[in-house]
Every structure is written in structure tokens, then in C-alpha cells.
Structure 1
Amino acid sequence: MTDDIATATNENSTPVTLRKSLWQLIISRISAFREDIGRTFESGHGVDSVTFSISFIALAAKLAKADGQVTRDEVSMFREIFTIPPQEKANAARVYNLCRQEVSGYHSYARKLSNALGSGEIADGLRHDVLDGLFHIAMADGEFHPGEEQFLLDVAEVFEIPDEQFDILVARHVPGRENPFDILGLPADASTEDARRAWRQLVKDNHPDVLASHGLPEEMRSLAESRMISINKAYEDVTNLFQARVLQTDDDIPSP
């Protein structure tokens, strides 16, 4: 029997098979290692949804303290990124608090996760997913604190995420630094066709179902949905800018 299956009995005392929730699996995994969060990476499970979730929660808990305090907004954003059923709130809170109390530094978690993911396009995508989620946590209070920015830069360096990809995340999340061309990965002189091509590729690559097939836990689907909203909004903004340029050009043409 796998560790994601449990048995129980119904009202007729007949054994029935139940699938454990993600939060029950996380608690089981952590408990198996006497609540030593770091050792969960040595479980031999590889990077399944449980290990991925533990690593993200551990980094999120560390990030929430990067500006010197854990705010209610940051905890609320964590709950928005993860779908937490009412009956699982106690388990989720326990996991979060265990990760927050863990003494290991965030560099250690980031390195262990990155090493466990290995190499390849899908692994790189999951690293990007983690960093994207951490940006959501950092911006929960509406401010991009220097300590949070350094935290994210450090994690990006460990994950070997290119500077241009980090800049895209900044453009997507940080007020005052948003740029629709950056979000779409386009130069400022891109054409309408360039924008359409980039948008279509991003929509294809970042569809929630695609990310789920690559290993993003279903409980974090809202992260993928938020990214799609950002991509579509950026394309809309770029399209509007192109249309405004055309209108401006028409206005500049003297009447015959």
C-alpha cells in the first residue's frame, strides 16, 4: 500500500480505501523524520508534490520574516496560493509553523530543492514556479522590502534563474516596475506579430493543466491561474499601446 492511501471502515464496518489529502501526506512525511524539515529531501521519494510543497512552504515561511516581521497579509497570501479545505486548516497551520521555526537558513532549502529537481526544462519550470509563488508572498503587503528583494535574488541565484527571467517576475509583481513588454519577454520595439507570437507561446507553456502535468500540485493551481491573468493583461496592454501608436501616427499625418 502506498503512503498516500489509508483505510477506514464505513458504518457497516466494511473496510474502505481513502486517499490522503496533501496536508495529511505532508504531516506524515515530516513526522517520519521527527519534524526535521531538511531531512524530508532525503526520503527517497524524489520531488513529488509533497516534497515540492514542503520546500515551497519552508521558503515562504522564511521569506515572510525577511522584512523583519510576519504580517497577516503574508499569511493570507499563503492561503491564497494553496487551496486549504476547512478541515485541513489545522494541518496546514502546523506545517507552516514547523517550517517557520526551523533553524536552517533558506539557502539550504533552496539548494536541496534545486539539487533534488535536477536538470531539464520541466525542472527549470518548477524552480520558476517556486520563485513566482515567493514573489506573491513578498508583495502581499504591497511593499517590496530590500530584505525580501535580496532573499528572492539569492534564491534565484541558487536556482540559476537568468536575470531576464527574474526581471519578468519583478515586472509582473512589483507596482511601479511593471512593464507589459517585459512580462511578455519582448523588446520595446517589438512588432504586433512579435507580441502575438510571444503571448500564444506563454499561454501554451503556462496553462494550469500544463503546469500541473509538470508537477505543480493541484492545491497550488491558483498560482498558475494568477500567472495566466498577468500574461493576458500584459498582452492587452501591449495591444492597446500599439493601437495608440497607430492613432497617433494618423493624427500626425497632415490633411490633404
Structure 2
Amino acid sequence: MQRTGIWGKIFGALLGLLFGPKYIGFLIGLFIGHQFDKAYARKRNGGFSGFGGKNATNAERQAEFFNACFATMGHMAKAKGRVTENEIRVASTIMDRMGLQGESRRQAQNAFREGKEDNFPLEETLNRVRSRAGRADLLQFFLELQIQAAFADGELHPRERELLHVIARYLGFSEAQLEQRLQMQEAAFRFQQGGYHQQQGGSFKAPPTRDQLADAFNVLGVNDEASAQEVKRAYRKQMNEHHPDKLAAKGLPPEMMEIAKQKTQELQAAYDLIRKEKGFK
């Protein structure tokens, strides 16, 4: 557990006694001092809110990006009210998908818990992510990870949707861009849940239904009336944005590389399905 110190509480309480009604001033000063101690402890211990300075190393920036992702995810889990076992399970599932073990998993869990705190500085955190990460592809990855977390239980609560709009806005994405990503993720969720993936040898488990084929188009971000050229262009664009090697070169934390790999596999499966069913070369 993180220790917050006592000096802020002491000075806050003394100032409260000097400048306010005796007991009320003491309590207000004590509360303000406690908030100061927590902020100082987080900064001292390298928490996510100290998001890299100009002289931060690449490893430090990656660690801060990683922490901010899971802290925001923790804040997302609380969007519907009290954090339930299901929300905690969703976070654990994403950690499992990343293959997080040992210290990296503990860091993710600590950041997730910090995000659940009432005084979590969401706006400050997102502003720092945007200014420090810089790369549009990394910001998109950050947003998509939050969308995946929101969709992981199979539904999107209105408060989660509202919070996703806030996150997208601070990261520099428009409402239309977010809605497109939400549609793509919803299709991807159904695509995954339907077990529609490519088996060894290039064949699929079963002939696709009309809805499964429509989901494959939506995974690529195009409608089911798209031409072969439009499908190919969308596929190349999505692969370019999510390719693990390219994201790594732009600063994606190595702990998150597995998610990028899974996304490219999903895109490949959707493209191969469309190409097979529509007879595209």
C-alpha cells in the first residue's frame, strides 16, 4: 500500500485552526492537507500522474503510457457505479491477453486501483497522454483498449459510452471517429464470440452467416457493399495502424504488444473471410 505522509495534514490542520471556525477549519484543513500528501506521494513514487518530462527516457514514457491505460480502465470500470467482480474480471482478462505476470501485472493492478479512486485526475491524465505519446497510432491504441474493456462484458452501458466520449475528446478524436470505432469493436466482439477464426490450412470452421460476413466488413471499417479495391484499401490501412512492429517503433510498451498482434490476426481473419466469400483476389 502506498504511504501518503503526514506533513500536509499537519500544516493543513494548523492553517485551518488559524483561519477558520475552530472544528470546521481543522477538518477542512486536514482534508486539504491529506489531498496534498496523496498527490506528493504519487509523484514521488512515480505514479501515472507524473507522466514523463522532456528528459524522460523511452522506457519511462512506455511505463507511464502503460500505467495511464490501466488507470483509465479502472476509472472506466467505475463508470456504472460501484466496481463489481465482473469489472475486475474484465481487467484481469485483458491482463491475461497481454500475458502480464509478476511485476508488470502488479503495476497494472495498482494503476487500475488508482483509477477507481474518487479523486482520479482523468482530464489531467488524458492531456498528458496526448501531449507525451504524440503519435496518432498510439492514441488510437489507447482509445481502442478502453473500448475493448468497456465491451468485454458483452454490452456497453450508457455511462460507459458517455465516458468514452470524454476520453476520445481529450485524446483528440471526434464523436464520429469514436462512433466508428465503437461500431468496429462491437462487430469485432461478435466476430470473436462467434468463434469465426481461420484454422490451420487456411480453411474456416463453417460457412459464414450473413451477419458474420457483415461483421467482417465492419471489423475493417467498411460496409458490405464495398468494392474489392475499397476492402483491400481498408485492410491495408488498418494493418498499417495496428502492426505490432510499427507500434513498437512509435513507443508502444512491450507488455502491450500481444494485444496488437491479436488485433492484426483479427483483421487478417476478417479480410480472408471477405475475400473468400466475395471471390476477391
Mapped partners of 2:132, 2:104: distance in 1: 27
Report the residue type matching 2:246 in the other structure: V
- Where 1:227 maps in the other structure, the secondary structure is helix
Mapped partners of 2:234, 2:52: distance in 1: 39
- The CA RMSD measured in Å over matched residues stands at 3.1
Residue 142 (structure 1) aligned with residue 154 (structure 2): yes
How far apart are 1:152 and its partner, in Å? Answer: 1.0
Residue 68 (structure 1) aligned with residue 81 (structure 2): yes
**What does residue 192 of structure 1 align with?**
228
**What does residue 101 of structure 2 align with?**
85
Q: Residues 219 and 89 from structure 1, CA distance in 2 versus in 1: closer, same or farther, beyond 3 angstroms?
A: closer
Q: How does 1:3-152 map to 2 (within 5 A)?
A: 33-35=43-45, 37=47, 39-41=49-51, 43-44=53-54, 45=56, 48-70=61-83, 71-86=87-102, 88-101=104-117, 103-118=119-134, 123-152=135-164
Mapped partners of 1:149, 1:49: distance in 2: 27
Q: Residues 86 and 104 from structure 1, CA distance in 2 versus in 1: closer, same or farther, beyond 3 angstroms?
A: closer
Residue 216 (structure 1) aligned with residue 252 (structure 2): yes
Moved more, 168-177 or 135-144: 168-177
Contact conserved, 2:114 with 2:120, CA < 8 A, in 1?
no
Q: Residues 156 and 91 from structure 1, CA distance in 2 versus in 1: closer, same or farther, beyond 3 angstroms?
A: closer
Q: Residues 105 and 114 from structure 1, CA distance in 2 versus in 1: closer, same or farther, beyond 3 angstroms?
A: same
Residue 161 (structure 1) aligned with residue 173 (structure 2): yes
- Where 1:104 maps in the other structure, the secondary structure is coil
Contact conserved, 1:61 with 1:99, CA < 8 A, in 2?
yes
Gaps of 5+ in 1: 1-29, 245-256
Size of the aligned set, in residue pairs, is: 211
Residue 202 (structure 1) aligned with residue 238 (structure 2): yes
Contact conserved, 1:107 with 1:158, CA < 8 A, in 2?
yes
Q: Residues 145 and 83 from structure 1, CA distance in 2 versus in 1: closer, same or farther, beyond 3 angstroms?
A: same
String of CA shifts for 1:184-231, please: whole Å, max 9, x gaps. 233443212321233234324422111111111110012202211331
Report the residue type matching 1:210 in the other structure: K
Mapped partners of 1:132, 1:180: distance in 2: 17
- Where 1:33 maps in the other structure, the secondary structure is helix
Q: Residues 210 and 106 from structure 1, CA distance in 2 versus in 1: closer, same or farther, beyond 3 angstroms?
A: same
How far apart are 1:161 and its partner, in Å? Answer: 1.7
How far apart are 1:125 and its partner, in Å? Answer: 0.8
**What does residue 15 of structure 2 align with?**
none
1:228 to 252, 257, 264: 264
String of CA shifts for 1:10-65, please: whole Å, max 9, x gaps. xxxxxxxxxxxxxxxxxxxx967235746412644277201211211221110111
Mapped partners of 1:172, 1:80: distance in 2: 23
Q: Residues 95 and 55 from structure 1, CA distance in 2 versus in 1: closer, same or farther, beyond 3 angstroms?
A: closer
Mapped partners of 2:113, 2:160: distance in 1: 19
Larger relative contact order (Cα-Cα within 8 Å, sequence gap ≥ 6): 1
- TM-score, normalised to structure 1, is 0.69
How far apart are 1:134 and its partner, in Å? Answer: 0.7
Identity %: 22
